[in-house]
Structure 1
Amino acid sequence: MLDFEIIPEFALGNADCKFLLGMLFNQAVYFIQDNCLNIKAVQILYSDLAPLSMDLVVNMSEDGVRLIFDSYTQRLKLIEIYNLQKIKLKYSGKYFCTTEIKPTLEKIDNVFGPTLPGIYDPNQQLFVLNFRGLSFSFPIESHFQPNYSNGMGSLQFLEGQTPIVSKICIYSGDDFDNMKCPPISPISFEGGSYLEKIDVLIKQDNNTAYGLKIVYSTEAFDPISTTSHSNEKITFERHIYLDDPSQNIHSSLGQADKIFYKGEDKMEIHKQTTSNLQAHCYNPYSASVYTDYFYNYFDLGLDILFDGEHNRVKKFILHTNYPGHYDFNIYNRAHFDIPLNLTADQNISQPLITTSDDKSFSNDRDKSVTDGIFHIDPFSKWDEIKEFFSRKSSNDPSRRTDEIPDKPVVLNRTSSVNSVNPFGSTYCYAFKNIIFEIMPNNHISTVTIFCPTTT
């Protein structure tokens, strides 16, 4: 049985496992995996067809705990404890819910102290007692309803019939109905970094990508403190470019989380014939054979491919981390923005980018096609992007037809250990030196930016 402490408006956890409001989905899953001996049953709930239409939920069914993540930011916004018979809970060191102690109304009053009168929900027959960042739900029989106006303390219950908490909610703010996902706490960085945004650098005269502007935050280091936690963050802005040497990337972004050497190139068959001939007519024992390699930055949702011979950047790969994709939960979501230039005479005022009620990213994704620029971000859908291509083509007759994505390359990801991909194939469309990998639900899974001379 899990033994957790409640910290209103902040967290649920113990010394080994702590779920912080605002933490990233990947971090929560890491804590669950690290405590697999205690947390045995976990379900991931999401919408396969419309992943942005509902929250991303982690349900720990055998422990009665549900973690609810915002579908856009993929950060924890709500913690629900819905089965109090399967968990031990305390507040400020005092237990109020164990196998011996029932979380009754009287016990909640003794441990948490006074608060404003609660609210009765006649539809669910629940009485909700609210504290700042914390709420308790009590099932109340309907015949008590006329007497609830002065709070539950004014109700008279027979001995043994005192209501018991049925659900606890931990959230940010003083009003459950208007709760918002809080900013990520530097404590949850755990020595890593948090991506604020990635701006793809585009040549506006021909819509060719040439680099990235990356803004990320990490926990500020306090050299005086004996621990690394300072509860403050520091933000960096870095520019990296295609054809950069590996030293530039290392000095800009730091050491990669992992270095992966390519064992095979499944796109080799699409290269020019001379390249194929050179690729297959080499001496495998020759020292002139070089292997390309990736720098994997999982916190940034970024892969960087280097040419093995010259150690220069060949590709950037940005990951959106949608559930239902083969690479889900390996990377954090890369919050990128790709500004593509429209013809000067267009005047489109309707938004073409998906928006969300969460305002923490509203400045980045609630954009319209204005000032001749069309913005693509992780929440754009492929039919919206195709609409941009079709409008641009119809307004620019001189545009080459081979720049317009038509038939995709079908990609079926598998591993060397397991050849089965339960998520199905994805579809790759190319525009200039940008490749969009599209999931069956019409969402972008990855964006690959490559040197124009690279295929």
Structure 2
Amino acid sequence: MYSTLNADIRPGAGLGIFEIGDSLWTILDKLRANNHMFPQVDVKYDPDSSVTTPIIVHVRPHLDLLFSGKGQRLHTISVRQLRDPNPPVTLQYNGNVISSTEQVLRRVLVSRTFGPTYPGDDLRYPGLWFSFEDDSITEGIARGGQVPDREQEVKRVFISQKGNDGKGEDALDEVKEGAAMEGDVSRAIVKRHDGIVLNFFGSAKQFLVRLGETTAQDLTLDLGPPSKVHFKEDERMTIHSSKKQGETKEDTGYFYNYFQHGIDFLISDTTHIVKKVVLHTNIPGAPLFQRYKRCCWEIEGMPEDDEDGEGPVVISPPLRVLTLCLDTPPRKRFYDRFETISHFLSPHGTPPSMLLDRADEEDDLTLPSSPTRLYGYDGIILEVTESSQVVCVILF
């Protein structure tokens, strides 16, 4: 017996439990929590550039959810197969049913409910449009001047941000900042040998996490309690330690896992001070996909010359003095290719790498490209996929 999918349409804002601007991590978590309603979910992505290209989540048989490539934010909701009874779908607007197994959604009902709109093959309103074509997420096929039939049956309903309703917009466009993003980390600026600066949507405040200074209590006060506290048990990397056998055992520590921010903090178990930070990119197909929300990190470098730094450019007399407001120190971002970031961190060559296969830790886990490589730099380690995408940044 199938449950009815009963969802209210909110133009420009969402559909049912889905909010425009929600993260991919949040939506997949909602689908998992409601697997009795959504038993079959497929995630489609480009394996060669999944860090920058849109992702589509098919919730069979009725929903297609399109996420922006870089921000991994819900961009467009498509409802299709409105008449498919397995499971039945009911759409409401302002408390009134406009589509169900008994109520066919037709052009005339759309016009009566939402009012007049500009002429075209589809009926378009701010943040909402109705298509009369089957399985088409783009513009409807031209009808050669055919007069619209008031009894035409709506085949697909689309919800997106107002001003981003598929006309003159690109699916690659990022979602504008909205209520669903408030409180999320908008970007994390990585400063080698120092720490990270966290910026948040809906707030001008910043939170600086300093290696060797910020305490576990500081994290709790500014970020709230962690999603999980994990005590470090994996000691395999100690074989590479410079400490000699018999010397005092290293302070192993424990992790504060903030899955909702895509960040882990390793904390000393003696001083309770942050000693390492891990920032996750949440790349589809990688072993850690969906464990963490995407963290939009940026690695900050030091200016190599005046053109890269902050400050004035002065042209000596007799020419007039010209002062330019230049960019902040150069940065490389989570969506840059590994080769670009590696040259940024080490201009004189790529360091040797270690092979890591996280699938080895799970007997039943099989992935097409599970092995990654670890590259160590001064104060930073990068975990990289075979397609040169950076899975995570480790700052120590």
Matched, 1:135 2:126: no
Distance between the aligned counterparts of 2:141 and 2:33, measured in 1?
A: 44
- Equivalent residue, structure 2, for 1:313: 274
Classify the secondary structure of the residue corresponding to 2:53: coil
Distance between the aligned counterparts of 1:388 and 1:188, measured in 2?
A: 31
Matched, 1:8 2:11: yes
Matched, 1:68 2:66: yes
- Residues 253-295 of structure 1: CA deviation (Å, up to 9, x unaligned): 3322211001222211111251x4447xx8xxxxxx9652001
More helix by share: 1
Residue number among 199, 204, 210 corresponding to 1:241 in the alignment = 210
- Residues 121-175 of structure 1: CA deviation (Å, up to 9, x unaligned): xxxxxx2111111111114999963344xxx2xx5x8xxxx32112111111245
- Equivalent residue, structure 1, for 2:260: 299
CA contact (8 A) 2:52 2:70 kept: no
- Equivalent residue, structure 1, for 2:157: 168
Q: 1:144 to 1:345 in 2, by over 3 A?
A: closer
Distance between the aligned counterparts of 1:116 and 1:41, measured in 2?
A: 37
Q: 1:328 Cα shift?
A: 1.1
Task: Report how many aligned residue pairs link the two structures.
Answer: 362
Q: 1:111 to 1:427 in 2, by over 3 A?
A: same
Q: 1:344 to 1:111 in 2, by over 3 A?
A: closer
- Equivalent residue, structure 2, for 1:285: none
Identity among equivalent positions (%) equals 24
Q: 1:341 to 1:96 in 2, by over 3 A?
A: same
Q: 1:104 Cα shift?
A: 1.6
Classify the secondary structure of the residue corresponding to 2:122: strand
TM-score of the aligned structures, taking structure 2 as reference length: 0.82
Matched, 1:93 2:95: yes
Superposition pairs of residues 363-382 of structure 1, within 5 angstroms: 373-382=329-338
Residue number among 195, 198, 208 corresponding to 1:214 in the alignment = 198
Q: 1:145 to 1:235 in 2, by over 3 A?
A: same
CA contact (8 A) 2:351 2:377 kept: no
Distance between the aligned counterparts of 1:428 and 1:300, measured in 2?
A: 22
Distance between the aligned counterparts of 2:307 and 2:205, measured in 1?
A: 36
CA contact (8 A) 1:23 1:185 kept: no
Matched, 1:411 2:372: no
CA contact (8 A) 2:229 2:257 kept: yes
Structure 1 vs Structure 2 CA RMSD? 2.9
- Residues 225-276 of structure 1: CA deviation (Å, up to 9, x unaligned): xxxxxxxx545311121112333333343322211001222211111251x4
- Equivalent residue, structure 1, for 2:386: 440
Residue number among 334, 339, 363 corresponding to 2:300 in the alignment = 339
Q: 1:177 Cα shift?
A: 2.2
Q: 1:329 to 1:144 in 2, by over 3 A?
A: closer
Distance between the aligned counterparts of 2:233 and 2:141, measured in 1?
A: 67
Residue number among 355, 358, 376 corresponding to 1:430 in the alignment = 376
Query: Unpaired segments of 5 or more residues in structure 1?
Result: 120-126, 203-208, 218-232, 283-288, 348-369, 394-403, 451-455
Question: Partner letter of residue 195 of structure 1?
Answer: V
- Equivalent residue, structure 2, for 1:228: none
CA contact (8 A) 1:172 1:181 kept: no
CA contact (8 A) 1:94 1:111 kept: no
Q: 1:342 Cα shift?
A: 5.5
Q: 1:67 Cα shift?
A: 0.6
Distance between the aligned counterparts of 2:328 and 2:281, measured in 1?
A: 25
Q: 1:19 to 1:432 in 2, by over 3 A?
A: same
Distance between the aligned counterparts of 2:252 and 2:378, measured in 1?
A: 26
CA contact (8 A) 2:77 2:160 kept: yes
Distance between the aligned counterparts of 2:23 and 2:258, measured in 1?
A: 15
CA contact (8 A) 1:430 1:436 kept: yes
Residue number among 189, 198, 201 corresponding to 1:199 in the alignment = 189
- Residues 95-120 of structure 1: CA deviation (Å, up to 9, x unaligned): 12111111122222232222222x2x
Query: Unpaired segments of 5 or more residues in structure 2?
Result: 135-139, 309-325
Distance between the aligned counterparts of 2:178 and 2:304, measured in 1?
A: 43
- Equivalent residue, structure 2, for 1:270: 240
CA contact (8 A) 2:51 2:283 kept: no
Q: 1:181 Cα shift?
A: 4.7
Bigger relative CO (Cα 8 Å, ≥ 6 apart): 2
CA contact (8 A) 2:332 2:344 kept: no
Q: 1:37 to 1:102 in 2, by over 3 A?
A: same
